Amino acid sequence: MEFNHRDACAIVGIGTTEFSKNSGRSVVRLATEAIAAAIADAGLRPCDIDGVVRCDYDDVLPNDLAEVMGLPLTYWSTVGIGGAAPSAMVGQAVAAILSGQATNVVVYRSLNGRSGRRLGSADQGGPAPAVGGHGSYDEFFLPYGLNTPGQVWAIIAQRHMIEFGTKPADLGAIALTCRANANNNPNAQMRDRTLSMAEYEASPMISAPLRLYDYCLETDGACAVVVTAADRAADLAQQPVLIRAVAQGAPERPQPGLIYPVLLREKLTTQPSAWAARTLYRRAGLGPDDIDVAQLYDCFTITVLMQLEDYGFCAKGEGGAFAAGGAIGPGGRLPINTAGGNLSEGYIHGMNHVVEGVRQMRGTSPNQVEGAEVCLVTSGIPVSTSAMILRRP
């Protein structure tokens, strides 16, 4: 029997810090700022929060928050992997609430991703990979120069171009859409920097075929949301945003390790998002035609293109034409990343997508989609992934 959580819980508070290249603050300080803002937004107090869910990459621990914020915790959990976690983190909060382990749960992500730990860079400080790699297979990749996520996604992008004729300009259309949305968002890192296709095409090649603007930002900042039961949500300060359904997904024969072994899969142009989509739509009782707006995880432009296909908004191989044809922009079939996304708002490991999904359902987005009632939010690929559907009551 499948766990039934449809519309049983809601997000009732959201909070963020500013997004910058140098916060000048510790990750604990950033986390407490975002969490305090989310709690206040919900009309709650720190003493009302009895659960927290964190990302496995987060340096802020539950006991840190309990100490500095006075949270009476009865539940805490850690969810991974990295950028694949945010939607699953919300799902963990839902599970805790419905199982009676917590009443009001904060889900957060805090990082100094530019001034501190830079997630997109090669690991220069660790030991040389040993034969056997503890299941990571890193010894088959790192010594030969494959040592950053951008290189992995460049290979996947090349494969998609070979199989389907996808063009660099198709990726550029995604970058430009996110940038235009960020230009209307006063909290976005790229709020004051426009981007044209000519500038995109002239930008430095980082790992062919991915250029500078195909990469997400490095960001200092934090985001948090408060999750509670739907029946309690009605009595709080904000209009609740219902969590219609949450799902996780991994493909058949997913390969071990963190990221590089995904290149050993038999097929690269279908990602874990295809498996998550099937589960999510079944749990939600909805399909791609019901989605009004989407916040698609965009660590690189190619991840957006492939999710457009995997979540059923266009056929396999047609993601490039779908994006380049204007379907993902304002007034299009599926407006995406309406605050600017990881590419142009800030890279808070995908938690900013959750916050923007809530804004869309509240009607407070900087690029509000008129009449939007259902929002898809996705989290990172390619190792595994998670996703959720939010809706207005």
Q: Residue 255's pLDDT is what?
A: 85
> Going residue by residue through the chain (393 aa), what tens digit of pLDDT does each one get?
566 899 999 999 999 999 999 999 999 999 999 999 999 999 999 999 999 999 999 999 999 999 999 999 999 999 999 999 999 999 999 999 999 999 999 999 999 999 988 887 765 445 555 666 566 788 888 888 898 999 999 999 999 999 999 999 999 999 999 999 999 999 999 999 999 999 999 999 999 999 999 999 999 999 999 999 999 998 899 999 999 999 999 988 888 878 899 999 999 999 999 999 999 999 999 999 999 999 999 999 999 999 999 999 999 999 999 999 999 999 999 999 999 999 999 999 999 999 999 999 999 999 999 999 999 999 999 999 999 999 999
Contact 213, 340 (CB under 8 A): no
Instruction: Tell me the catalytic residues.
Output: 297, 347
Cα torsion angle, 36, 102, 82, 168, sign: negative
Q: How far apart are CA 112 and CA 30, in angstroms?
A: 9
Q: Residue 124's pLDDT is what?
A: 46
Spans of all domains in the chain: 7-116+221-232, 145-209+243-389
Minimal CA–CA distance to 177: which of 160, 196, 159, 158?
Answer: 196
Q: Residue 254's pLDDT is what?
A: 85
| Domain spanning 7-116+221-232, CATH class | alpha beta
Contact 244, 387 (CB under 8 A): no
Tell me if 7-116+221-232 shares its fold with 145-209+243-389: yes
- Find residue 111's DSSP bridge partners: 221
Tell me which H or E stretch contains 207. strand 205-207
Q: How far apart are CA 91 and CA 98, in angstroms?
A: 11
Q: Could you say which architecture CATH assigns to the domain 145-209+243-389? A: 3-Layer(aba) Sandwich (3.40)
- Helices first, then strands: H and E counts in the chain: 12, 11
